[in-house]
Chain A
Amino acid sequence: MNKKIKVLFTFPPGMVGKPITYCLVKDYDLWVNILHAEIAPDKAGKLVLDIEGREEDVERALDFLACEELQVQILNGSISWDEDRCLHCGACTSVCPAHALTLDPVDWSLKFDREKCYVCKLCTLACPVKAMSMPI
């Protein structure tokens, strides 16, 4: 049976050179979709991936990753948008690294593309009226 997960990797400085994505594809036969990558010299790197494959392959890959020096966080759930509460101010849009939250350039209402969201939760901190939240 196939399994799909969304994962956030945080690489310590100096480790961004290791081809983790290659290993996931080649050694574990996974489909990997890079949603977001942030790499800067001498800084921690961030990588958000959609990983899909046979359940046992996904589990084996997670075991492999656990032995590496990087932090692995599985992103569960989804952000909830309370449209009645939302003022469409746009405060959430510039902090959204996935470009999932945007303002419509014509009517200036907020648009939320849940497909793009990688649940980093920055919008829940940026929203002044608590319209964006992470249900527990």
Chain B
Amino acid sequence: MHYKSFDEINEKIRRKKAVVVTAEEIKGIVDEKGPEQACREVDVVTTATFGPMCSSGAFLNFGHSDPPIRMSKVWLNDVPAYAGIAAVDAFIGATELSETRGFEYGGAHVIEDLIAGKKVQLRATSYGTDCYPRREITTYITKDSINQAVMFNPRNCYQNYGAAANSSDRTIYTYMGALLPMLGNVNYSTSGELSPLICDPLYRTIGIGTRIFLGGAQGYIAWEGTQCNPSQIRAENSVPIGGAATLSLIGNMKEMSQRYIRAATFHKYGVSMFVGVGIPIPLINPEVAQNAAVRNRDVYTHIFDYSVQRRSKPALARVSYEQLRSGSVQLGGRSVPTAPLSSLKMAREIADVLKGQISSGEFLLQEPVMSLPAEASPKSLEIDEVADR
């Protein structure tokens, strides 16, 4: 067996000698040469995803005005930000809606505008204190005029996710996009065989502390993501069938690019944000190489009926990503068109950019400081009948 350490690989990256390929390229190499030889020849595999991820946002520190204010309510371009932290800190959530423009503009748009270098109106109110006498403020900020702008995404990079369809007789508008009546279409959201946690299904190299590409900057995996579900049922190749592990991500928003962070509005649903993420997988052993070589034909998910407005939606069919990517699947006895919500074209670009950064020595690998949980399942929220009365 051929084994490599993170340190050995980083040394090769520093000397610009590391062999880096994308997760799409490694498949052919493993098929042709086997995982042992692939692991000898290739040092790093780059994975990526570029899909809408609601659980996103940013911590901002505005700096102190004179006289100073302890901001208790904050709006950015009329989008409320959470200010229940220190005097001039706030968290702007991607899905928060503008109080004046509704679905058209939300927290994700504020984030995109800040990243683009645009001026954003800051409005805040306060009750006034001895040390913070000011009670209101209206001014403009840019990402460069404020102290910190730190993107923090509590849940991104779903390992896998269910596809969506609609068996009712009217179009429904969901976070999985517009779903046409009578099973008129199927939407799914993943970069499949290029996706980080599809290619490292048992979290052998990806963990807490992993350095990543986040929105064009270098960021980190901060923690397991919310609703992390590594106990999801798995196929023989260890890849979960349906939603499984998630990642919590952090990165310097000031260094990000509008190309890789984009605000989105889902009609009649709300605002979300496309987040470009790239994660390197060092080929530390042949098993990791074998896992990264997974193909869309061997990754499965279920199609769920989103017309059922309950926590558990009925599964209509089990399909592979090869079938979903083909443009149609058999459902209810006929061929139904399929569409992704996650941009494979952009994910490929990110995997290529990250490959370039590692090859040129700009991007070093960080060994995880702690593993992701091997077992965990999300809990449901039960309704306390006394409280609900």
Contact = CB atoms under 8 A, between A and B. Distances in A.
Bind each other: yes
Interface of A: 87-95, 102-103, 105, 107-109, 122, 125-126, 128-130
B339 A94 contact: yes
Nearest to A101: B339
Given A108-B345, A109-B345, A128-B177, A90 B265 contact: no
B178 A122 contact: yes
Contacts of A102: 327
Contacts, number: 78
B345 A88 contact: yes
Given A90-B340, A94-B186, A128 B346 contact: no
B167 interface: no
23 contacts: A87-B343, A87-B345, A89-B340, A89-B346, A90-B343, A91-B177, A91-B340, A92-B339, A94-B180, A95-B178, A95-B180, A103-B327, A103-B340, A105-B327, A108-B344, A109-B345, A122-B178, A126-B178, A128-B52, A128-B264, A128-B265, A129-B274, A130-B265
A130 to B, nearest CB: 7
B339 A128 contact: no
Interface in B270-323: 272, 274
B339 A90 contact: yes
Interface residues of B, number: 32
A99 B286 CA distance: 43
Nearest to B176: A91
Contacts of B348: 108
A89 B343 contact: yes
B272 A91 contact: no
B262 to A, nearest CB: 6
B10 interface: no
Contacts of A107: 345
A84 to B, nearest CB: 10
7 nearest CB pairs, A to B: A94-B339, A128-B264, A94-B185, A88-B345, A108-B344, A89-B343, A94-B337
A88 B346 contact: yes
A134 B180 CA distance: 20
Most chain-A Cβ atoms within 10 A of its Cβ — which of B50, B51, B341, B345? Answer: B345
A107 B343 CA distance: 11
A41 to B, nearest CB: 13
Contacts of B264: 128-129
Given A94-B337, A103-B327, A126-B178, 19 more contacts: A87-B345, A88-B344, A89-B274, A89-B340, A89-B341, A89-B343, A91-B339, A91-B341, A92-B339, A94-B338, A95-B178, A95-B184, A102-B327, A122-B178, A128-B264, A128-B272, A128-B274, A129-B262, A129-B264
A22 B236 CA distance: 58
A63 to B, nearest CB: 33
A92 B234 CA distance: 31
B187 interface: yes
Contacts of B341: 89-91, 128
B180 to A, nearest CB: 6
B126 to A, nearest CB: 36
